[in-house]
Amino acid sequence: MGALDGIRVIDAATLFAGPSAAMLLGDFGADVVKIEHPRRPDPARGHGASSRGVGLWWKTLGRNKRTAAVDLSQPGGQEILRRLAVESDVLVENFRPGTLERWNLGPEVLHELNPRLVVARMTGFGQFGPMASRPGFGTLAEAMSGFAAMTGEPDGPPTLPPLAMADGIAGLAMSYAIMVALHAREATGRGQVIDMAIIEPILGLLGPQMTAYKELGVVPPRTGNRSSSNAPRNTYRTRDGRWLAISTSAQSIAERVVTLVGRADLVAEPWFATGSGRVAHVEELDAAVGSWIAERDAEEVIARFEEAQAAVAPIYNVKDIAVDPQYEALNTFVELPDEELGSVTVQNVLFRLSETPGEVRWAGPPHGRHTEEILGELGYAAEAVATLRADGVIA
C-alpha cells in the first residue's frame, strides 16, 4: 500500500515543473492521470536523448502516470476534465493565467463541482503582477533569481545550468505545497488554490542573499567552484588526472583537511575559526590543499581523507554513477519492463519510507495510452468515446 493510495491527481501541465510534482506524488501511490493534447503531446516527450524514436526523459517524467489525450479547448474535452475533477483530489496545471477561466474550467467552477479539490497552478511568474501573462520557463527563473549571476568563473560570463534545475526545484516545492494543502483539507474539508511562480523556489534555495543585500549591500560575486561562505572548497586535480571535490562547511572538517595536508599551523590562526575568515585567505588554503592533492593519485587521496574523516568525493559522470557501489546499495536506479523499449532504467523514488515505501511501477507510457480506460471509469459509453474521437476531442 502506497502512502498516497486513494489520491487522484490530474496532471494537466507540460514540460517539467508541474509534471515533476505530479510524478513525485505518483511515486507514493497517487493515481496520476496525465492529460495531453491529442495532436500536440507534452513537449517533454521530445526533449533529450531518444531510443527508436521514443523520448527517454519522458520515461522518467511520465512514470506511474496514466495518459489520456484530450483537447481541453473543446467543449467535449472540458466536460471530460469537469468529470475528472469531481473524482479527483488534485489538479496540476501550468496554462497561462486566464486560460482555464476562458475554458470555463477555473478554480471557482471546479470548486463548485468538488469543494475538496486542490488546484495547483504552476507558472513562470505567478497568477498576478506585471509579468504574469508572459511565457515563463525555468531558464528565466535561473536568470532572474540571481543563480546565473553568481555562477561561473570570476572573470567569465553569467552561467546557466545545463539542465532544468529551476523546474526541478519548483516541482519539489509544489509536491510539498500539495501535501500541505491536502493536510489542511483534513481539518477544513475544503480544497484550495496553490499559486506557485517558478522564479520563487530557486530564489529561496540560494540562501539569504536579499537579507545580506538589505543589511550590508552585498551582491554575491561569481566565485567559480569556490564558496563565498567557507574555504577550502573547490575541485582539485590529482596526479593521475582525476578530479575531486572537497567541502569544509563544518569547522572540524576544515581543521582535519589542513592538518592532513601538512598545514596544521593554520588552525591556530585567528581567521581560521570562521568560514568567512577562511574565505578571506582562500588563496593560501587552496594552494596548500591543491598542491598536496596534485602529488597523489585519486585512490590515495580518497583513502587518506577517509582515514582523517574529512569530506571528499570524486567528480562523476554518468558512467561512474552507473557502477558506484553506494548508488547500487541504495537501489537508486531500477530497470522496468516497457512496452515501447522492452526495458528501461529510471531513477528510483527520492527517499525511503519504512512503513509505506514508494515504488516506480511503470515508466512513462505512450501518448494517450489510457484514454479509453479513463473515460470508461468516468461513465462514457463506447459510442460516446467513438464520437469524441471522431470529433478530434480525444486520441
Q: 130: Cβ–Cβ under 8 A, 6 or more apart, which residues? A: none
Count Cβ atoms below 10 Å from residue 311 Cβ, excluding itself. Answer: 18
Residue 167 a catalytic site member? yes
CA angle, 221 then 226 then 232, to 5°: 135
Coil, strand or helix at 253? helix
> Residue 205 class from Cβ within 10 Å (0-12 exposed, 13-18 middle, 19+ buried)?
middle
Among residues 27, 71, 89, 167, which one is catalytic?
Answer: 167
**Radius of gyration of the chain measured on its C-alpha atoms:** 25
Q: Are 90 and 8 in contact (CB under 8 A)?
A: yes
> Residue 181 class from Cβ within 10 Å (0-12 exposed, 13-18 middle, 19+ buried)?
buried
- C-alpha to C-alpha distance for 114 and 80, rounded to whole angstroms: 14
Residue with cell 496520476: 32
Count Cβ atoms below 10 Å from residue 237 Cβ, excluding itself. Answer: 14
Q: Check residue 356 and report its DSSP letter.
A: S
- C-alpha to C-alpha distance for 129 and 131, rounded to whole angstroms: 6
Tell whether omega for the bond before 314 is within 30 degrees of 0, i.e. cis: no
- C-alpha to C-alpha distance for 365 and 222, rounded to whole angstroms: 42
- C-alpha to C-alpha distance for 120 and 147, rounded to whole angstroms: 25
Q: Which residues are identified as catalytic?
A: 167
